[in-house]
Structure formats: structure tokens, C-alpha cells
Structure 1
Amino acid sequence: MQPDDELDKTANAALPLTGIKVLDLSRVLAGPSATMTLGDLGADVWKVEQPGTGDDTRTWAPPSASGIATYYLAANRNKRSIAVDLATPEGRQIVLRLAAQADIVVENFRPASLRKLGLTYDELRAVNPRLIHCSISGYGRGNDLEDRPGYDFILQAECGFMSITGEPDGEPMRLGVAFVDLVSGMNAVQAILAALFMRERTGRGQWLDIALFDSAVFFLANVASGHLNTGSEPRRFGNAHPSIVPYQLFDCADGRIALAVGNDEQFRRLCLDVLPLPGLAADERFASNRRRAENRDLLLPILSGHFSTTSRAEMLGRLERAGIPAGEVKSVGEALRSQPSVLRDSIVTSPHPVLGETKSIRSPLRMSAAPMPAPSAPPLLGQHTDMILSQVLGFQPDQIDALRGGGIVQ
């Protein structure tokens, strides 16, 4: 591919990670989402992909736009793609030279594969002692499960999430997005930023061991705390909350709403100002959240009967005036067109060499001193191979042609 100037980092001089270079050896979601966040923050991300195939998610469709998988588009903006065959000696040398200039490397290879490729932490540290090496895996490194592949769906099952998700009498269910991958990517970013801060003080890099399993069980939060400290086994409550009542969906006359009564005062206002059911507010069985949770089977049919006779718009208006959290149950499209999405300018558009433009969700990291510009579109496979080889590593055109002719790069 010919070099281009679409990823001009000088335009991002005010961003926090401007000047930081990231060697991205990861694929699928956890690693790419982490490196995308680093790119959003101004880092120069070099995404290394296998010639001919690239990141696995390039084939994860439908849906796709003009043949480009939208799954791939979701986690790869603000990057440059260089297609290199790591299994060749020449390809490995290219990666080692990039590692020598990088500040951060992110990878999710199995340890056996890293050893075979000669790209372990010790081997990369030998060429760059300041390198921060972030390994993302299913079950962590240095144990009997280190070579076991980690998939979000499997982790949701193994870490207890599916056992607490779904209707009480229904099948265990996974969340509709790969949240274990995504939260692992977030944890990787936090660890990387902390390691960068430490390097400022010590001058040394370090190895970061991020496991999907660790991220998942940590994300159990209050559910894990309940089991660890009482021995009780959490169960599924559908859309209801195990500890807060009423905190679930209710059917109005013409649609469904989500209601979150977070404290006793809100429940009092629900009974007096919204429904109204003054006798319910005074009923000792429901006066406190603990009593409401204990007597949910008595309370919820009463509430449901009153919600079902009122239109959704009328009920939401009453709840808003009473200061009680509630909202419509929206589709994804409705959410992306909603007032909060418009007010937060949530959708950003980037020019794309094939699609004309791509749309993505703006970074949730909003900083007054570092407003983020519109991102660059996720790159085509090998789109920046020539640029990186020439501008970063100093290869001449004839050398690049030879590498491409030998199938080392694309």
C-alpha cells in the first residue's frame, strides 16, 4: 500500500498520549479495544496483522458494510495496519525493530506461540528495557491453564455470570455483548497507564499479566461479595434486582418502562405522588427496602396493576416530576438516536477509503484540556505497511518491494 497522511499525530499534539508508540500484536476484541483506547488518547498504534487474513474479526459477519465486517470496525480506529508474516525470520526482525522503538506492546498470543515466534517478554525486553509489555489471556500466565484459549462466551459461563442472567425459571443467558473482553481491555488500559506513570519515576518498563478470568470474577462485584461473606448462592432474578425493590421493568398500557426506586424516600414519593397509593407507603411490610425485598411477591403485583392502566408517556412524566429514576426500554437504534446521544454528540464520522465514511461511538473519556478530534477510520489490511516500514524503520522502496515480493509483508 502507498503511504498516506490520514493518521497525522501532529494534529493531536494536545492529547495525553501524544508521542507514545504502541506495538499492537493483539487480535479479536480485548487487546484491540485496549489499543483503540490508547489511540483515542493520542498514541501512535501500529497494528501488526497476518498477510492475507489479518485480524480474525475482519471475517466476523454479518453484519458488514460493503464487505467490511462491522465487528472489526468497532475496535480498530485510530490505528495503522502493517501486514507482516511473523513466522518468517524477516518478519520477526521487523517486529523486533518496531519493539525497540515502542513504548508499549499489547499481545494475546498463547505463551507457546510467543516462544515459537521468539517474541516473549524477555526477548522484547532485551531490545528495549523501557518497554511495557501487556499480555492478555484467558486465565493468566505462569499456571497450568496459560495455554488454554480464552473466549468471552466461555468466561461468562465459567465465572458465574450466566447463572445470574436470565429469567428465574429460564435458561442461563449471556450478555448481548462480549463484556468480559471489553472490561479486560479496560483493565489493560488502566494497568498500562499506571505502568507509564511508574516508568516516569523508575525509567524501567515491566510486564503486565491481564486475564479475562480475573476481570470477570472481579466484575461480579456485590454478587461475589454476597456469596463470599454469607455463603449464599446467587440466583437469577430476570430484570429485577436481588437487593433493591422495586427495581425492574413494568408494563404500562402501551409500552414498557424501567423503574429504579433506589431508596425509601423514592418509594414514598412513588406511592404518594405517582400512583397514588398512600396506604402502600404506610404499610410496614414495604416501609423499608429490606422489607420490600422480603415481601416482593406481595408488592410487585400491586404495583404492576397500577402501571398497566396508565400510558407510558404519562407514567414517565409523573416519575420525572417526582424525581424517581425511570426510562423507556429502547432498541439499539432508538438509543443511538435518543436525546442523550444527541446531547453528548455520541456518534462520530470518519472518512474511509472504501466505505466513504464510517460511524463509531465517541470515546467516553472526555477531558477539558484534551478534547479528542474525530478519529481515523479502522485501517484496511496492510494499509500502512509502506508508511511504517519507510517512516518508522527507514526501509527504502526497493527493500519494501523485495519484502512484498517474498510474501513477508502485504
Structure 2
Amino acid sequence: MNGPLAGIRVIDVTQSAAGPYCTMILGDLGADVVKVERPGAGDDARSWAPPYWGDEGCTFLALNRNKRSLAVDLTSTAGKSVFADLLHRADVLVSNMRPGALDRLGFGYAAVAAANPRVVYCAISAYGGTGPKGDRAGYDPLVQAYGGLMSITGERSAPGEPPRPPVRVGTSINDMGTGLWAAAAVLAALLDRERTGRGQLVETSLLETAVGWIPYQVMAYLGSGTVPGRHGSGTPMNAPYEAFPTADGYLMVAAGNNRLWERLCRAIGAPELLADPRFGDNPDRVRHRDELAALLGEVLRTRPSAYWERVLDAAGVPASPIRTVAEVVADEQVASLGMLRPVPHPRIDGYRDVALPVRWDRERPATRRVPPMFGADTREVLAELGRTPGEIDELIAAGAVAAQEGGPVAVSRGQRGPDAGRARHPDG
């Protein structure tokens, strides 16, 4: 499987998380992704460690497979010439430099589109590039705070106690979400180019993603005037729909309708709750969620999570223990989906990566290249641009480019199974 984007070249001027995630998706889909990094440092995420896997930072490994690394000084005349040659041959440019940074270097959208009208130019930023905060830098947790996510994440305060502290969503959800939106927008622009013959400017940001994650909270506020708060593991519109303590941990129970509520009560041996007028239907249960949670907790604390999972599964009630990452990695269902794939790696024994969560004809996109060493593909890419070995040596000597002299690392056929498959600041 070469991927639907085979033959598409993506120039990746991103670092940290949101931009690299976008370009990794495009690479997984078959695009030739050339990751442009600044000499001397490279992507900031290379140093986001520990943890390390071998000598390489796990964050960088997670977001940069299926790419080639080209180290170019975009502030130098020779480096700009190399970059201009790349863009002349590019189908897509993805950047998460701070708004205006590429313009000041001479590579804003207008200049690039004039030289290559077919290019899809994707600009990722923290706050969107316009408005009072448009040109500011930002990272995922900052925008989780600014965009309202932290205000609805965390445990509810008990009556009479002070407010609980804010909680960050446990993954970089705005980064990952912005990368997904950027990739989807690039794909749509490429499809549009098939009809029009021209590329276009695509823009997205962490803030737009943050607001986009909370549509029903926003609509609830607009409709009711009530400011949404924290609901711990639950939701404001369903009950019981949260994690309950058991004898040895916590069990997430999702009884989101009256039919499941009835099954739950009978399965746990508490049919008397069905006759309680406080819990007659979902709106009643939501209004009395604290009393309901206390009553259910009394029952569920009497047995371990695994016991209740079996009981509720037999009754057709959705439920799951709260599991650790280690348990997820070892899970049979995750394994059956081929989400964690062994991939040959020249420096890391037992290397695996997290697959793109889609399949075509039951086959996942392959890992064609493990995450590159800094500048590992500089010579290869420059040779494709027509530079001779002597010219490449001169560029390296002048500091316009940098090269890792170990050469590129590619996985010849990927890893497949039956079901597997110096301008700052960036987004975050």
C-alpha cells in the first residue's frame, strides 16, 4: 500500500506537536514529507525528554515517522535558495512558525503562491493569526486554559468545600486536534486543486480547536445562561454516566438511557432504585446525581472492578475499569486492531509505534521510515534538487545546511499484518 498521497510532496516547517502531527498523518497517507529543521538545534521536541527510548526523545519519536530531515538555515541567502527550490517542487507547505515569521523570511503565502500557484499552504498558529492575540505564541496547556477546557475538566467540588484546582486534559488534546484539522483541511484543498488546478491558503489554530471541542457546553451556556462547570469523570447531561469507586479501583459506567438504567439496577442487585421518584428518568437522575452517585457507590464498593465489569457486560450495560497505559499496551483488543506495530529500527531494540487509527481494505498505512535523525536526509534531498556533491559540501561548510553523516533510515516495506497496518515561536 503506497497510500493515497503517493507522489505528493509536503514541505514540513513545523516543530513541537501540532504541526508535526499533521505532517506525520500526511506521511502515513503516502506523502513524501521533507522536514525542514534549523541547523544546530532542530525540532524543539527532539529535546523534550526524558523519557528517552534509547538515546532518542519519546515525544519526537511519537510524531515524526515517515519523514526525511533536511537541516537548512532559512536566514542565510544560500539556505533561502534551497528552500525556494523545495517550494517550487512542493504540493503542500505546512508551517507552525509564529504568524508573520515566514513572511519576514520572504516565504509568506502570497510570495509562495506567486512562484507555485498549485501549492497548498497550511498555516498553523496558537491563536489564529488575527485579532488582539493573533500573533502570540502558545502551547497546548496555555490554550486549554484560555479556550475553556480547564474550566470543565476536573472533579466537582462537594457542597461547602472550596473549588477544586483546575486540571489539564491528560494529553495534548489541542495539539493533536489541530494536527487532525490541519491534515483534513490539506486533503480537502488537494481535492479542490484537482478541480481548479490551484492551491490555496489553509489556516487553523489551537484556539479554534479548543473552542471546537466544546460545542455542547457552549450551546448549553447560550441556551440557559448557566456557566458549565466540572463534572469529574461524568457529563452534565447524563446520569449515571461516570466513574464509581469499587473494592479495588474505579469503574466507568455509562448507563445513558432508561433501558440501560433499568439493566444496571437489576444487575447490581438494587432494583429498589427503579421505584425511587428521584431517579425516574434521565433529567431526574441528573438533578439528583449526587444522591444517585452515593447510592451506587455503596453497592459497587463491595466488589472489585473486574467482577462488576463481568456482571455489567453480561447485562448489556457499558462499563470499563479505569486502566493504565501499561494495561492498554498489553490489551488483546488493542493488539487485534494492530495499533501497536513492531517496526525495524537501527538504533532501538524492540521498537514499536502507534499506528494511524484508520484502515483501507483492512490494511493500515505502513511505517516506511522511522523518525529521522537530525539532518539525516540533507544530502539526499539536495541531490534531488540538482545539487552536486561538491555544491552540497560547500553548503555544509558555509553553515547554510547541516547533514547527519550516517545517512537516511528507511523501512523497506513498512510493517504490515492482516489488520495492521531561526524563527520562533511555534504552536506548542
Shorter-chain TM-score bucket reads over 0.9
Q: How does 1:229-244 map to 2 (within 5 A)?
A: 229-244=223-238
Matches within 5 A, 1:31-42: 31-42=19-30
Alpha-carbon distance, 1:34 to partner: 0.2
1:128 equivalent to 2:116? Answer yes
The one of 291, 295, 299 equivalent to 1:298 is 291
Indicate conservation of the 8 Å contact 1:16/1:370, yes or no: no
- What is the CA–CA distance in structure 2 between the aligned matches of 1:238 and 1:38, rounded to whole Å? 35
The reply on whether 1:180 has 2:170 as its aligned counterpart is no
- 1:100 matched to 2:88? The reply is yes
Q: Quick check: 1:396 aligned with 2:388?
A: yes
- Which residue pairs with 2:401 in the alignment? 409
Q: Give 1:218 deviation, angstroms.
A: 1.0
Alignment partner, residue 207 of structure 1 = 201
SS at match of 2:93: strand
**Distance of 2:390 and 2:205 partners within structure 1:** 42
Correspondence 1:153-302 to 2 at 5 A: 153-169=141-157, 170-272=164-266, 274-302=267-295
- The TM-score normalised by the length of structure 2 is 0.90
Kept in 1: contact 2:66–2:367 (CA 8 A): no
- Give 1:381's match in structure 2, choosing from 371, 374, 391: 374
Distance 1:319 1:370 in 2: 33
Classify the secondary structure of the residue corresponding to 2:236: coil
Aligned to 1:148: 136
Contact 2:94/2:122, CA 8 A, preserved across alignment: yes
Match of 1:9 in 2: none
Tell me how far 1:349 sits from its aligned partner. 2.5
Q: Deviations over 1:232-272 (max 9, x none)?
A: 10011212221111111112223321111111100001112
Q: Deviation at 1:343?
A: 1.2
Report the Cα offset of residue 51 of structure 1. 1.1
CA distances 1:201-244 after superposition (whole Å, capped 9, x unpaired): 00010001112111110111211111122211001121222111
The aligned amino acid for 1:34 is C
Whether 1:91 aligns to 2:79 is: yes
Q: Which stretch shifts more, 381-390 or 345-354?
A: 345-354
Distance 2:259 2:218 in 1: 28
How far apart, CA to CA, are the structure 1 residues paired with 2:376 and 2:313? 50
RMSD after superposition: 1.4
Task: Indicate the residue corresponding to 1:313 in structure 2.
Answer: 306
Q: Secondary structure at the match of 1:111?
A: coil
Of 6, 12, 26, which aligns to 2:14? Answer: 26
Distance 1:68 1:371 in 2: 25
| 1:337-386 Cα deviation digits (max 9, x unpaired) | 11221111111122333325632101102111764223421000001111
Relative distance call for 1:251 and 1:133 in structure 2 (3 A) is same
Determine the C-alpha separation between the residues in 2 that align with 1:190 and 1:306: 46
Structure 1: 4+ residue segments shifted above 4 A: none
Distance 1:256 1:370 in 2: 35
User: Which of 324, 331, 350 is the matching residue for 1:331?
Assistant: 324
Change in Cα spacing, 1:301 to 1:370, as seen in structure 2 (3 Å) is closer
Whether 1:74 aligns to 2:62 is yes
Distance in 2, matches of 1:224 and 1:143, equals: 21
Tell me if the contact between 1:349 and 1:374 (Cα under 8 Å) persists in the aligned partners. Answer: no
Secondary structure, in 3 states, of the residue corresponding to 2:234?
coil
Q: 1:314, 1:109 → 2: CA distance?
A: 51
Counterpart CA distance in 1 for 2:71 and 2:99 is 22
Deviations 1:94-130 (CA, angstroms, capped at 9, x unpaired): 1111111111000011233222211101111121000
- Rounded Cα–Cα distance in structure 1 between residues aligned with 2:312 and 2:51: 38
- Secondary structure in 1 aligned to 2:121? strand
Q: Decide whether the 8 Å contact of 1:345 with 1:362 is kept in 2.
A: yes
Cα distance, 1:38 vs structure 2: 0.3
Aligned residues with identical type, % of pairs:
40
Task: Confirm or deny that 1:367 pairs with 2:355.
Answer: no
Match of 1:119 in 2: 107
**Amino acid aligned to 1:111:** P
Counterpart of 2:392, as a letter, is I
Task: Say if 1:99 and 1:124, in contact at 8 Å, map to a contact too.
Answer: yes
Structure 2 residues without counterparts, runs of 5 or longer: 158-163, 403-428
The separation in 1 between residues aligned to 2:57 and 2:7, in whole angstroms, is: 30
The one of 340, 347, 352 equivalent to 2:340 is 347
